[in-house]
Amino acid sequence: MTRAVRVHATGPLALVQDLGRSGLSGVGVGRSGAADRGALRQANRALANPEHAAAVEATFGGLEVAVLDEGVWCCVTGAACAVQVDGRDVGSHAVFFAEPGARIVLGRPGAGLRSYLGVRGGVSPGEVLGSRSSDVLSGLGPPPLEVGDVLPVGVPADRFPHVDSVTAPDLAGEVVLRAVRGPRDGWVDDVDALVAAPWSVTERSNRVGMRLGGHALRPARDQELPSEGAWRGAVQVPPSGEPVLFLADHPVTGGYPVVAVVVDADVDRAAQLRPGDPVRFRWVEAP
């Protein structure tokens, strides 16, 4: 029998994501992976998968898949949304079973941006450089999902899940991201302006980076840096002065200074922000 699901609708964007390609930045390959890694890990824990198993990352709902010959256990995490199986509400952040032929539909989340459809055994398209993640910047990995795509499902673990539900995150209200100064904070006139006032997420944001609007940070030097490697969570200031918070598919710096780095634990929350959402930064000391 076939363990697989077929895509019937993708919503604005649906991608296969695992925890990404670690250890390859030295040869110019970014990590990529789930924008909200915590949500992916949560789905995998609920389904007794390895934490790196791949799932479908759905942006702003609209995902619909049909289960093929063999039923599957599933869990939706990340941005909470309506989840239906053949028209029956099963809810997000709960483990449910979908019979062969059943259709699973994810609605639009009330808050947050990205939801994760995990399947027991993980979705298993072919790996590229050791990962099943789709990198929208480089084009590595599976392409964005399209109607008619069939996603194989891997072999489930021998053990069964120990939980039947997980906690849904609170994604409403203003978000405050903890950030460490530097390494190039001296390249803007007043780096404290980053934490002095709120910013808003602009419509030019994606998995590569979250572009912020509100005011501009003024450069302190009329120079460019050599291109440098960067970390997820780096806050870069391009010539416009409007900061960019690097997310999962970020590039190297391209000569623009990184004036702060958001604590890794807070980047998952940043990845759930929508255009127009307010966000603040707060200085913390490096651990």
pLDDT digits (tens, 9 = 90+) for 159-201: 877 777 788 888 988 899 999 999 999 999 999 999 999 999 9
> Is the domain of 133 the same as that of 199?
no
- Shared domain for 191 and 118, answered yes or no, is no
Strands of 120-272, DSSP E = 150-152, 175-181, 199-201, 209-213, 234-236, 244-246, 258-262
Q: Domain range spanning residue 227?
A: 175-283
Residue with tokens 């307010």: 278
Question: By C-alpha distance, which of 46, 65, 58 is closest to 168?
Answer: 46
- 43 and 78 fall within a common domain: yes
Residue 163 pLDDT: 74
Q: What is the pLDDT of residues 61-103, one digit of tens each?
A: 999 999 998 999 999 999 999 999 999 999 999 999 999 999 9
Percent above pLDDT 90 for the chain: 83
Do residue 76 and residue 214 come from a single domain?
A: no
Q: Is 126 exposed, middle or buried (0-12, 13-18, 19+ CB in 10 A)?
A: exposed
pTM for the structure as a whole? 0.95
Residue 120 has pLDDT above 90, yes or no: yes
CATH at residue 203 = 2.40.100.10
pLDDT of amino acid 1: 65
Identify whether residues 195 and 258 lie together within a single domain.
yes
Percentage of the chain lying above the pLDDT 70 cut: 100
In the block, residue with structure tokens 């460490």: 180
Element (H, E) at 40: helix 37-46
Q: How many domains does the chain have?
A: 2
Backbone angles phi, psi at 82, to 5 degrees: -65, 135
Q: For residue 209, is pLDDT > 90?
A: yes
